[in-house]
């Protein structure tokens, strides 16, 4: 087996990936970006995620970089045997198919670990073992079950987060588990099964509100109906109808904000001297600030807020991030060859390692692009041992 020289932490680690959609591919992408050889097993015709329409159109490009594509039909004895042989030559296996599917093919951890005790096996599911484990789940299903839609929308109007937050984070937790298991295997020589699940992931996102209830005895209201801990922590409409979030979370920041927008009357009002006082009259205060901010142009106010150290943010659409100056100049948004003669800009992992961003090393794989390369190794005969010369 050849190993690509990457200088990255997971160089020399081989991962076999039986995944689709977002959760499992995210785990594989993280491991691939960190230097592992990730071999994505696709069915004949390719992963159906490649051809999703609408809001799913970007899934495959977003979460499958730096991987190799091998087409295997595990419904055939030959294909299944090839898959098992590849798994035996690998360090990690990833899967995120419906409960019971991998068991049907004998590709579950309980079966594989008997033959390959070194194998680290990461399953990405809707639920960890328990009463819900056989339910099928989607990101939206668990967002409703775990309180996220309730906390996001106005009262009586639950609203899902505008991204596949649990699928992506579930893949992240799967990768964290794999990294920990690799470290443990270096001590014990044994692999293990890792399980990551959407529902438990989303429950962690809601944990602060669960804790709030246990501490106060009161259920946390949805975020749009919340009692804010800070008086100025809201979105304001500016001149020309543009919107800007401003957060002044200390007495000093409030004083500074009043100075920047030329409202000395608010800064010197003794009834607004402390954050607690301002929270008591928050609706009226926000109305007064709004009456002033509606006359400020967003492009003129933003540099003043930045210079003054006031937290702020324009309301940005995802399409605008493609030209975001910070993402581009910091090296977090780079070009990737899509494998079909086109290029696209992709977001790298949000971390620095030794001062560098793990980046794009390969074009997005075409369906089955590496089948001959990878399966050809399986057919290679073992090298004959060198003859031992008789020294007598």
Claim to verify: residue 117 and residue 253 sit in the same structural domain: no
- Which pLDDT belongs to residue 335? 97
- Out of 274, 296, 315, a domain closes at 315
119 vs 102: CA distance, rounded Å: 15
Report yes or no on 221 lying in a domain.
Answer: no
- Which pLDDT belongs to residue 56? 96
Question: pTM for this structure?
Answer: 0.92
Report yes or no on 216 lying in a domain.
Answer: no
258 vs 285: CA distance, rounded Å: 12
Claim to verify: residue 308 and residue 332 sit in the same structural domain: no
Q: CA torsion, points 120, 126, 130, 131, in degrees to nearest 10?
A: -160
Backbone angles phi, psi at 19, to 5 degrees: -140, 170
Report yes or no on 215 lying in a domain.
Answer: no
Contact 309, 336 (CB under 8 A): no
Claim to verify: residue 106 and residue 30 sit in the same structural domain: yes
User: DSSP class of residue 347?
Assistant: E
- Which pLDDT belongs to residue 383? 54
Claim to verify: residue 70 and residue 114 sit in the same structural domain: yes
Residue closest to 179 by CA, chosen among 303, 351, 382: 351
Give the up-direction half-sphere exposure of residue 41: CA atoms within 13 A in the CB hemisphere.
26
- Which pLDDT belongs to residue 4? 79
Contact 185, 162 (CB under 8 A): no
365 vs 46: CA distance, rounded Å: 11
Q: How far is CA 149 from CA 104, 139, 153, 317, 323, in A?
A: 35, 11, 6, 20, 30
Instruction: With a cut of 50, list the residues of the chain below it in pLDDT.
Output: 382, 388, 390-392
Output b/e per residue, 55-85; b: 16+ Cβ within 10 A.
eeeebbbbbbbbbbbbbbebeeeebbebbbe
- Out of 288, 315, 342, a domain closes at 315
Claim to verify: residue 272 and residue 182 sit in the same structural domain: no
Claim to verify: residue 360 and residue 233 sit in the same structural domain: no
Report yes or no on 241 lying in a domain.
Answer: yes
Residue closest to 255 by CA, chosen among 267, 265, 264: 267
DSSP string for residues in 71-86: E--TTSHHHHHHHHHH
- Which pLDDT belongs to residue 225? 84
108 vs 331: CA distance, rounded Å: 39
Claim to verify: residue 199 and residue 288 sit in the same structural domain: no
Claim to verify: residue 236 and residue 294 sit in the same structural domain: yes
- Which pLDDT belongs to residue 85? 97
Report yes or no on 384 lying in a domain.
Answer: no
Pairing of strands 243-248, 312-314: antiparallel
Claim to verify: residue 81 and residue 121 sit in the same structural domain: yes
Contact 232, 245 (CB under 8 A): no
38 vs 65: CA distance, rounded Å: 10
Report yes or no on 162 lying in a domain.
Answer: yes
Claim to verify: residue 135 and residue 165 sit in the same structural domain: yes
Claim to verify: residue 158 and residue 247 sit in the same structural domain: no
Q: What tokens does 134 get?
A: 């056989």
Claim to verify: residue 180 and residue 70 sit in the same structural domain: yes
Tens of pLDDT, residues 282-340:
999 999 999 999 999 999 999 999 999 999 999 999 999 999 999 999 999 999 999 99
Backbone angles phi, psi at 97, to 5 degrees: -95, 170
- Out of 315, 345, 370, a domain closes at 315
Looking up tokens 């493609």, which residue turns up?
Answer: 322
- Which pLDDT belongs to residue 135? 92
Direct distance between the N- and C-terminal alpha carbons of the chain, in angstroms, rounded to an integer: 37
Residue-number span of the structural domain to which 178 is assigned: 14-205+324-379
Phi-psi region of 216 (alpha: psi -120 to 50; beta: other; left: phi over 0): alpha
Report yes or no on 389 lying in a domain.
Answer: no
Report yes or no on 54 lying in a domain.
Answer: yes
Count: domains in the chain: 2
Indicate which CATH number applies to the domain containing 110: 3.40.50.10540
Indicate which CATH number applies to the domain containing 249: 3.30.1540.10
DSSP string for residues in 181-225: HHHHHHHHS---EEEEEHHHHHHHHTHHHHHHHHHHSSPPPPGGG
């Amino acid at each position: 087996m050849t190993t690509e020289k990457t200088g990255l932490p997971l160089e020399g680690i081989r991962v076999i990936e039986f995944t689709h959609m977002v959760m499992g591919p995210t785990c594989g992408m993280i491991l691939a970006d960190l230097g592992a050889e990730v071999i994505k097993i696709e069915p004949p015709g390719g992963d159906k995620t490649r051809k999703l329409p609408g809001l799913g159109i970007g899934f495959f490009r977003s979460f499958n970089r730096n991987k190799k594509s091998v087409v295997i039909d595990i419904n055939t004895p030959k294909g299944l045997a090839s898959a098992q042989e590849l798994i035996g030559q690998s360090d990690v296996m990833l899967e995120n198919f419906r409960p019971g599917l991998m068991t049907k093919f004998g590709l579950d951890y309980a079966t594989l670990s008997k033959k390959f005790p070194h194998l680290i096996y990461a399953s990405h599911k809707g639920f960890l073992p328990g009463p819900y484990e056989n339910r099928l789940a989607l990101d939206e299903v668990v967002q409703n079950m775990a309180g996220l839609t309730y906390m996001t929308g106005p009262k009586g109007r639950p609203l899902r987060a505008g991204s596949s937050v649990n699928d992506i984070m579930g893949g992240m937790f799967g990768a964290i588990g794999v990294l920990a298991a690799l470290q443990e295997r270096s001590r014990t020589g044994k692999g293990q099964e890792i399980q990551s699940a959407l529902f438990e992931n989303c429950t962690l996102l809601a944990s602060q509100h669960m804790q709030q209830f246990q501490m106060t005895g009161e259920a946390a209201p949805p975020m749009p109906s919340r009692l804010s801990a800070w008086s100025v922590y809201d979105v304001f409409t500016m001149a020309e109808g543009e919107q800007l979030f401003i957060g002044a979370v200390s007495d000093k920041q409030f004083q500074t904000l009043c100075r920047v927008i030329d409202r000395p009357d608010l800064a010197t009002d003794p009834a607004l001297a402390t954050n607690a006082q301002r929270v008591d009259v928050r609706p009226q205060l926000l109305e007064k600030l709004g009456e002033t901010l509606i006359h400020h142009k967003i492009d003129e106010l933003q540099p003043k807020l930045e210079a003054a150290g006031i937290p702020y943010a324009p309301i940005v659409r995802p399409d605008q991030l493609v030209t975001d100056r910070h993402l581009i100049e910091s090296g977090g948004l780079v070009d990737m060859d899509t494998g079909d003669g086109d290029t696209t800009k992709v977001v790298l992992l949000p971390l620095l390692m030794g001062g560098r961003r793990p980046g794009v090393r390969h074009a997005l794989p075409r369906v089955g692009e590496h089948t001959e390369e990878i399966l050809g190794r399986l057919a290679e005969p073992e090298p004959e041992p060198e003859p031992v010369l008789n020294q007598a």
